[in-house]
Chain A
């Protein structure tokens, strides 16, 4: 049997990226995927005939341009098209739009609050300052602050220097920013309820936290630190659906000599003499390699496909305690036409952006209350888009795909497992909410794919359906991601590595964890580095 240099488990975007950089360095790489298709949560599937859904992730901003360029993804057909604007439809029939045109955007804010329109300048500045601070660290391995290795000390000094460069005022702000709730943070800038609610949404997406929970300011930053062609904070659609990203990465990987095997679920990482040496597949096959990389989340990796007896008990505890709570669900909807939103009127560009219905901080927090009480939100937060108003390739002409990200959705309903009836009731809640703002919406529905944490975990593998492979809270960021002492992509046994979103710098279709992990692996193998350096923002 062929022995590989490296086996990567899980063909999501980070597994693909990791495998591609290892292959680029000349390693023989086998990428294993449990599903019959690749992509993980970066996937487009034809569930309903003629329609491609972006089944999980649905928009792109974080994908590191260094990786995009280095793996030549454009050559393999990837195109990210920026989309315009966002809108919050209000209960009173009005709306607040974040228009793409700066002057129109300011005027729209002035319509809701003359003062907030000016405060937004200060808000953008402060968010941009935090982005500029964090972005250079995305393509770097976090230093271990307890280590005396020269490299860690060097990196820590680098972090420290960058931090002090921010200047007195920004240093204070940074500490507050990383610990505050998004509601508190926005209170320091804005007075209008709907403006605050519109910005607060990105502070909770993917997190089992409410807008009033400490730490949600950072989650907003995580959604703002991406870019499309240098336009910081901009979001775009992958032409053809998010699966186009995985497909381009896979094509790059194959061109670099890598091997991808689907329908190849891993049963067990084989550890011998304290060293990971191979994998046993669910079908009984075994494959061996010098390096085993898991792109699965830590709970799945360490509690399901590794034998706990191969691990230190305290490490198993860490994996058990890892915070990866289910908080979101998704509806993918095939539509027979464009739904009307009377509040927006005809020909309003905002329908091409992301749409929301939460017009106050209070409603957002109430939605979280439902989650704490063990049910899905009765008045949920949605992040809703119709990519096919921009992308002509995903549906038949005149038909549309609507992606509805929904929060909050608990991992269990009132403490028991989800049933099909629960799932359908949850779906109905969301459809009813949309219909409140769009009278012809329900008539246009051709198909609905409803995904609760149960479906996401079962299909994608993400524990509790957590989209970030673990929450983005301070206790699980930087040198603490996924666990203290294990932030440099090396697993608890020799030869075993982690490359998923559970590692630094975290979730979203960013691909930085996969790339960073490849750099560490190549360093251990004493191979030349194939991973590009991060671009520095001046």
Chain B
């Protein structure tokens, strides 16, 4: 992929492609950066319910992975990220965001503390430019390892049972956001209890050379547990139910946003809990302190909407029809039996319990209808099964 002739292929098969290809019944491939990636393998609904009912596998390989090591790795990351990195102990994973100097989000991601002082940052978009700029003065080594690690998200209630059947010792006692390392096919398999589904689930990380072996062992073990692949569409559904943001949809990366006012701070995305203003210095702190003092421009909210028409791209209005914001993500939630959405509203609107109208357009047999559906701001996730946090993890 780094050879001079790389352009002869616009898109590359992932290390799991030989296994994904026959399972892709629709033969429709999308792209995720350098890799072929499917939005749907069989049927969005089947894949969605596999995640919620049994278990399903999502090819996570294209995720950007940046390794951070060196004596100042911790100090550096504590400066780069808005959250306290101290709380991400060795063998643990932390959700995190990072900002530019204006306190605007560049991306969100997960920080893996692989071994003492050895970190991997996973993100949707490559971050090297800002990461190197931020490293000035720190003794760290920052290296992109996106293509050196193959990864699967393995999510769903039977996921733990399948991994146990695969022979992963003591996996049931791995706590949420914990990491375990196993010997596998002459290399190392790293398992983290993480995911983007809000359900019981794991992510599996391995050298690309052992990717097919991992897939085969996983599907062998999962055969009687309803294992199947799931694509980007089903993933989008489960992450909305879980209350998780998507970069590019719920917020824009500040380094690529032409209109400066369209960027968002962590506070404006409801991510206050990821900002530790007690840290003496981190990227964006000055701006975020100012914002804390002067107030944010926007509130990010979860909405429970009346009716069953998904509020995609809807304007959110006051009762007097004044527009105060718009929906960023929306769906009918099959698991919560609720019509749900994320929305960005102009401050001060968006307090929990506040009622608005969602302007929804829907079509039935080429006839378009507009409804103003009452909706209210809620403070909980739409779907949050106890098994997500249970340790030891249940069998299903």
Contact = CB atoms under 8 A, between A and B. Distances in A.
Contacts of B217: none
Interface range for A: 20 to 34
Interface in B1-60: 1-8, 10-11, 31, 33-34
Contacts of B253: 121
Interface in A103-127: 103-104, 106-108, 110-111, 114-119, 121-122, 124-125
A128 B258 contact: yes
A83 interface: no
Interface residues of B, number: 29
Contacts of A129: 258, 260
Given A103-B33, A107-B6, A122 B129 contact: yes
A118 to B, nearest CB: 4
Contacts of A349: 7
A169 B102 contact: yes
A110 B7 contact: no
A320 B292 CA distance: 59
Contact of A108 (B7, B144, B255, B261): B7
A167 B262 CA distance: 12
A121 B102 contact: no
Contacts, number: 72
B10 A103 contact: yes
Interface in B251-265: 253, 255-258, 260-261
B34 A103 contact: yes
B110 interface: no
Contacts of B7: 97, 99, 104, 107-108, 348-349
Contact of B256 (A117, A125, A345): A125
Interface string A156-200: 000000000011011000000000000000000000000000000
Contact of B34 (A107, A114, A128): A107
Given A125-B257, A125-B258, A118 B128 contact: yes
A124 B256 contact: yes
B182 interface: no
A307 B389 CA distance: 90
B258 A132 contact: yes
By CB atoms of chain B within 10 A, which of A94, A107, A132 has the most? A107
Given A110-B2, A111-B6, A348-B7, A117 B255 contact: no
Majority SS at the chain A contact face:
helix
A94 B4 contact: yes
A189 to B, nearest CB: 8
Nearest to B31: A103
Contact of A114 (B10, B102, B128): B128
Majority SS at the chain B contact face:
loop
Contacts of B6: 104, 107-108, 111
A123 to B, nearest CB: 10
B281 interface: no
B296 interface: no
Nearest to A113: B128
Contacts of B260: 129, 166-167, 169-170
A101 interface: yes
Interface string A60-93: 0000000000000000000000000000000000
A118 B144 CA distance: 12
Contact of B126 (A94, A101, A118, A125): A118
B130 interface: yes
Given A97-B7, A169-B102, A111 B2 contact: yes
Nearest to B4: A94
B289 interface: no
B166 to A, nearest CB: 34
A118 B257 contact: no
Contacts of A348: 7
By CB atoms of chain B within 10 A, which of A103, A106, A116, A169 has the most? A103
Contacts of A166: 260
A114 B144 contact: yes
Contacts of A128: 258
A121 B127 CA distance: 10
A349 B9 CA distance: 12
By CB atoms of chain B within 10 A, which of A125, A132, A166, A348 has the most? A125
16 contacts: A97-B7, A103-B11, A103-B31, A103-B33, A103-B34, A104-B10, A107-B1, A111-B3, A115-B129, A118-B125, A118-B126, A118-B127, A118-B255, A121-B253, A122-B256, A128-B258
Given A107-B34, A117-B128, A170-B260, 5 more contacts: A101-B10, A110-B2, A121-B129, A121-B255, A125-B255
6 pairs of A and B residues whose beta carbons are closest in the complex: A118-B129, A119-B129, A167-B260, A121-B256, A128-B258, A118-B126
Interface of B: 1-8, 10-11, 31, 33-34, 102, 125-130, 132, 144, 253, 255-258, 260-261
